[in-house]
């Protein structure tokens, strides 16, 4: 049912876009998943596919669906667009309640209006809560009885990292820190600037989220910064310190590019066996429904991963001008494909050695929160998948762990974003459309 002008725009675009798909909606043979994806030829059309799922929220009594042998239930609800999660050493869970900043720069007129309406349609519109809320499960029954606003008046925060005695927060425009003691329910101190990040006031800030993780020694922080465009159409000058993972040395405050050519690096996590940094990356658009697969990959220091010149190693994107053959030759092929346009955001590894009930099934493997497509027909993502690892490397095909975020009519009850391993060895999933943190446990618990 068309409810607003955006729906008219979307319907018009979908009716106009040329598509090589069969009438049944079947896609050409391809493999968008695994260590060796089979990529189709790129497509072009007069208008890109636009097919967002309308956000409607969860009907009373309905929850996502868990894979066989697992249960899913609400850990916390009534939040305001919960996007990202981190677990403190004492078991408290922090959730960043955040939306895009009001001014992303460089967009005005009808384009800005359409973007605003589309975000609202997909559940991302409105003002950002700009806060971090602390969730505490006092009696360890799997439900957070305590919800306390830890810190507010932030600027579209996403990443959080605790390195004693500070809580570090990655706003959209700056990395800041607060003095913090474990157990503290509220922070009243003013933020201390650690380093400015791309996306300050008046700047173009296309991919606005800034993810964050500390190294195990607590001496360095790593910040994921997305590109300012799809394929550098705003020029490479607009991509300074973007499409990259930045390394911040806490002792000196110095910042450098740790790895780049990563179009939108979001979830950051340490692989437990190899202690290697891994990242979930959103790849480029407008090459067809099956290109380019999002991916998870290990991150090599100084590594270049292709964007914008090529994808999946040396697959040249001919739309990018001027090209850079030397960069293409140096491009690292990602480790594991997780499907085109899935908007894979969250990344969390299950601990290698633990007594938790889920360990036998998941130890050492990776959970990926797939926020879901807006520009693919049929839709993709809208679920949490699991990738098995052997000897520190991904193997096989992914397994659907949490699904059911889409109705039979293609509406979004919810959209999974950040994922983390909870204090009881459970999986926690931030659902920013459903305003809920879901808890996934073993059926034997």
Query: Tens digit of pLDDT for each residue in 374-428?
Result: 999 999 999 999 999 999 999 999 999 999 999 999 999 999 999 999 999 999 9
pLDDT of residue 22: 33
pLDDT of residue 352: 83
pLDDT of residue 116: 64
- Residue 157 sits at φ, ψ, to 5 deg, of -75, 150
Q: Does the pLDDT at position 209 exceed 60?
A: yes
Q: Name the β-bridge partners of 431.
A: 416, 436
Task: For residue 111, name the pLDDT band (cuts at 50, 70, 90).
Answer: low
Q: Does the pLDDT at position 17 exceed 80?
A: no
Do residues 155 and 171 lie in contact, with contact meaning Cβ atoms separated by under 8 Å? yes
pLDDT of residue 19: 38
- Residue 184 sits at φ, ψ, to 5 deg, of -65, 135
The residue behind tokens 């983390």 is 420
Secondary structure (H, E, C), 152-166: CCCCCCCEEEEECCE
Q: Does the pLDDT at position 328 exceed 50?
A: yes
Q: Is 199 exposed, middle or buried (0-12, 13-18, 19+ CB in 10 A)?
A: buried
User: Which tokens belong to 157?
Assistant: 């925060």
**Domain residue limits, the chain:** 5-19+33-442
DSSP 185-233: ----SPPEEEEE-S--TTS--SS--EEEEE-TTSSEEEEEE--SSSSST
pLDDT of residue 7: 42
Number of H helices, E strands in the chain: 4, 30
pLDDT of residue 445: 67
Query: Tens digit of pLDDT for each residue in 216-228?
Result: 999 999 999 999 9
What residues contact 374, with CB distance under 8 A and at least 6 apart?
Answer: 50, 51, 52, 53, 118, 122, 341, 343
Q: In CATH, what is the architecture of 5-19+33-442? A: 6 Propeller (2.120)
What pTM was estimated for this model as a whole? Answer: 0.92
Q: How far, in Å, are 51, 107, 115, 119 from residue 110 at the CA level?
A: 19, 9, 8, 14
pLDDT of residue 27: 57
Query: Tens digit of pLDDT for each residue in 142-171?
Result: 999 999 999 999 999 999 999 999 999 999
Q: Name the β-bridge partners of 159.
A: 170
Task: For residue 48, name the pLDDT band (cuts at 50, 70, 90).
Answer: confident
| CA–CA distance, 424 with 87 (Å, rounded to integer) | 11
């Amino acid at each position: 049912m068309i409810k607003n002008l955006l729906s008219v725009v979307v319907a018009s675009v979908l009716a106009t876009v040329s598509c090589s798909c069969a009438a049944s909606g079947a896609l050409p043979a391809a493999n968008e998943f695994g260590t060796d994806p089979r990529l189709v030829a790129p497509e072009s059309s007069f208008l890109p596919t636009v097919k967002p799922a309308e956000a409607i929220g969860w009907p009373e009594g309905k929850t996502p669906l868990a894979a066989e042998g697992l249960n899913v239930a609400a850990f916390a609800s009534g939040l305001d667009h919960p996007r990202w999660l981190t677990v403190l050493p004492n078991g408290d869970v922090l959730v960043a309640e955040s939306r895009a900043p009001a001014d992303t720069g460089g967009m005005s007129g009808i384009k800005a209006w359409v973007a605003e309406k589309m975000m609202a349609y997909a559940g991302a519109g409105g003002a950002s809560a700009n806060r971090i809320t602390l969730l505490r499960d006092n009696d360890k029954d799997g439900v957070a009885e305590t919800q306390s606003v830890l810190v507010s008046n932030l600027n579209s925060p996403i990443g959080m990292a605790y390195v004693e005695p500070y809580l570090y927060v990655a706003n959209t425009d700056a990395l800041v820190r607060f003095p913090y003691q474990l157990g503290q329910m509220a922070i009243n101190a003013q933020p201390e600037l650690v380093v400015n990040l791309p996306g300050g006031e008046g700047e173009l800030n296309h991919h606005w989220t800034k993810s964050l993780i500390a190294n195990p020694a607590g001496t360095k922080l790593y910040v994921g910064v997305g590109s300012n465009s799809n394929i550098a159409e705003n020029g490479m000058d607009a991509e300074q310190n973007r499409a990259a993972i930045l390394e911040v040395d806490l002792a000196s405050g110095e910042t450098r590019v740790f790895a780049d050519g990563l179009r939108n690096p979001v979830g950051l996590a340490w692989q437990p066996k190899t202690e290697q940094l891994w990242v979930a990356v959103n790849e480029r658009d407008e090459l067809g429904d099956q290109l380019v697969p999002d991916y998870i990959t290990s991150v090599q220091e100084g590594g270049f991963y292709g964007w914008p010149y090529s994808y999946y190693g040396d697959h040249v994107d001919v739309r990018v001008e001027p090209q850079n053959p030397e960069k293409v030759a140096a491009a690292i092929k990602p480790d594991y494909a997780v499907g085109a346009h899935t908007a894979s955001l969250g990344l969390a590894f299950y601990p290698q050695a633990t007594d938790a009930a889920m360990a036998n099934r998941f130890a050492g493997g990776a959970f990926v929160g797939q926020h879901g497509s807006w520009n693919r027909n049929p839709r993709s993502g809208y679920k949490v998948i699991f990738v098995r690892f052997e000897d520190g490397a991904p193997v096989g095909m992914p397994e659907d762990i949490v699904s059911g975020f889409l109705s039979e009519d293609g509406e979004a009850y919810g959209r999974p974003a950040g994922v983390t391993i909870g204090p009881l060895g459970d999986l926690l999933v931030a659902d920013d459309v459903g305003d809920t943190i879901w808890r996934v446990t073993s059926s034997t618990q």
